[in-house]
Chain A
């Protein structure tokens, strides 16, 4: 059974960075992409970017282009999303999702709450 297990909740200061991990099991890691999606409190879903694990190439939504870095470690089947220069607007639940190439996201992590507060 495919599972994505994310790292725990974080509380960060404005201006700092956060790195969230996403450990995948039960599938062939390199055959899929990992996407990251966030959801601010009471709001909808927002696609941040993704990485094609086989080629270790990432692409990002323009909104996050200069602040986000998505990486993957095939040896540990773990993907990471690092977001820098945090503000209160970045307070959200961050999800990773296994994503088919040119396809949907079929398995999701449980979400990681990142709270940005002084």
Chain B
């Protein structure tokens, strides 16, 4: 099973600042099959990024993903008030699909 380690656990930032979230895999997997999801309290996760760097439909371009192999990054270029949430990475290159433990982006 591939373990995904997200850091930091919590990111305290102000609106307008840049957020950089990390996701490191315990081993590399096929085809950069990594997704990022955003989750707000009481709601289902929302797909932001897939295949490491492709934005899902309707996702603003302030969200970007990068990386390959075992190291992946989600960047939010300028935080909007609605971006404060928990973010999860997920790999789907190897079964079982696994999630990272999440990074909470909170208002400083």
Contact = CB atoms under 8 A, between A and B. Distances in A.
Interface of A: 35, 37, 44-47, 49-50, 59-62, 95, 97, 99, 102-106, 108-111
A104 B51 CA distance: 8
Given A102-B33, A103-B50, A108 B45 contact: yes
A27 B104 CA distance: 32
Given A103-B50, A104-B47, A61 B96 contact: yes
A44 B102 contact: yes
14 contacts: A37-B45, A37-B99, A44-B99, A45-B37, A45-B39, A45-B99, A47-B98, A103-B51, A104-B50, A104-B51, A106-B47, A106-B50, A108-B46, A110-B44
A106 B45 contact: no
B49 to A, nearest CB: 8
Interface class of chain A by DSSP:
strand
B75 to A, nearest CB: 18
Interface of B: 1, 31, 33, 35, 37, 39, 44-47, 50-51, 56-57, 88, 90, 92-93, 95-102
Contacts of B50: 103-104, 106
Given A45-B99, A50-B97, A61-B96, 5 more contacts: A35-B97, A102-B33, A104-B35, A104-B56, A105-B47
Contacts of A45: 37, 39, 45, 88, 90, 99, 102
Contacts of B33: 102-103
A104 B50 CA distance: 6
A17 to B, nearest CB: 22
B44 A104 contact: no
Given A44-B88, A45-B88, A95 B44 contact: yes
Contact of B99 (A46, A62, A106, A109): A46
B99 to A, nearest CB: 4
A84 B51 CA distance: 34
A111 B95 contact: no
Contacts of B47: 104-106
